[in-house]
Chains A and B, each alone.
Chain A
Amino acid sequence: QLVLTQSPSASASLGASVKLTCTLSSGHSSYAIAWHQQQPEKGPRYLMKLNSDGSHSKGDGIPDRFSGSSSGAERYLTISSLQSEDEADYYCQTWGTDIMGVFGGGTKLTVL
């Protein structure tokens, strides 16, 4: 079964960097994923598509501070030079067969 696992929460200081993790279930380590950001009281926003080799393509207008990387079944989102507006929920997402989408549980990022 295709499952994505995320830590429920993370925190980092203003101006620092943070690395969020999304883990693919066993047997699915070659899957690409997407990262989405959801700021408080707003709809989600697409950040990037992240491939298993670490290559990634970002959505329109996404700052260079956001980057992605991969290692085995793990997919990472790194946010550098943290700003207050980066405080948000971050969801990883992938896709299966038959036009099916799958979300991780989300990570709530607090900027200290």
Chain B
Amino acid sequence: EVQLVESGGGLVQPGRSLRLSCAASGFTFDDYAMHWVRQAPGKGLEWVSGISWNSGSIGYADSVKGRFTISRDNAKNSLYLQMNSLRAEDTALYYCAKSTSWNGALFGNWGQGTLVTVSS
């Protein structure tokens, strides 16, 4: 069974940094692209960033480009999101999502999310 467990969320002041992690199990992690998707309170889903199986292809939403960095460690079956220069509008539940292919953005499995609150 595919399991995706996010961690690292919390309350952080504007301008500070936070690093999210996603621990994956139940599948061959380095066969699949992985993504971060977020949901602001009461709002819809927003794709944040994605990374291909070997980190050769990486993409970001315009809203986070230059501030967030996605990475993965295939030896540890883990996905990361380094978030710098955080803003109030980054407040959201952040989901880890597994693609159905090595480089695509069709989300076949989801985690339960980790909450990030940016506030002074």
Do the two chains bind?
yes
Return chain A residues, CB-CB under 8 Å to B109. Answer: 46
- For the complex, is B73 an interface residue (Cβ under 8 Å from A)? no
Q: Which of B9-17, B50-58, B74-82, B83-91 contacts A (4 or more CB under 8 A)?
A: B50-58
Return chain A residues, CB-CB under 8 Å to B50. Answer: 99-101
Count of CB-CB pairs between chains A and B under 8 Å: 70
Identify which of A32, A46, A49, A106 contacts B45 (C-beta below 8 A): A106
Bound-state CA distance A32–B107 (Å) is: 13
Identify which of B58, B110, B111 contacts A99 (C-beta below 8 A): B58
Task: List 18 A-B pairs, Cβ < 8 Å.
Answer: A34-B107, A36-B110, A42-B112, A43-B110, A43-B111, A44-B110, A89-B44, A91-B44, A95-B104, A99-B35, A99-B51, A99-B59, A99-B103, A99-B104, A99-B105, A101-B105, A103-B44, A106-B45
Bound-state CA distance A78–B104 (Å) is: 25
Residue picked from B45, B47, B50, B103, most chain A C-beta under 10 Å: B45
- For the complex, is A98 an interface residue (Cβ under 8 Å from B)? yes
- For the complex, is B108 an interface residue (Cβ under 8 Å from A)? yes
Number of interface residues of A (CB under 8 A): 25
Q: Assess the B46–A103 pair: CB atoms within 8 A.
A: yes
Q: Which residues of B contact A (CB under 8 A)?
A: 33, 35, 37, 44-47, 50-52, 57-59, 61, 95, 100, 103-113
- For the complex, is A112 an interface residue (Cβ under 8 Å from B)? no
Q: Which residues of A contact B (CB under 8 A)?
A: 32, 34, 36, 38, 42-46, 49, 59, 89, 91, 93, 95-96, 98-106
Q: Which 7 A-B pairs have the closest CB atoms?
A: A101-B47, A95-B105, A101-B105, A99-B50, A99-B59, A106-B44, A103-B45
Bound-state CA distance A101–B50 (Å) is: 8
Given contacts A36-B107, A93-B45, A100-B61, 9 further A-B contacts (CB under 8 A): A32-B106, A43-B110, A46-B107, A89-B44, A95-B106, A98-B57, A99-B35, A99-B104, A104-B44
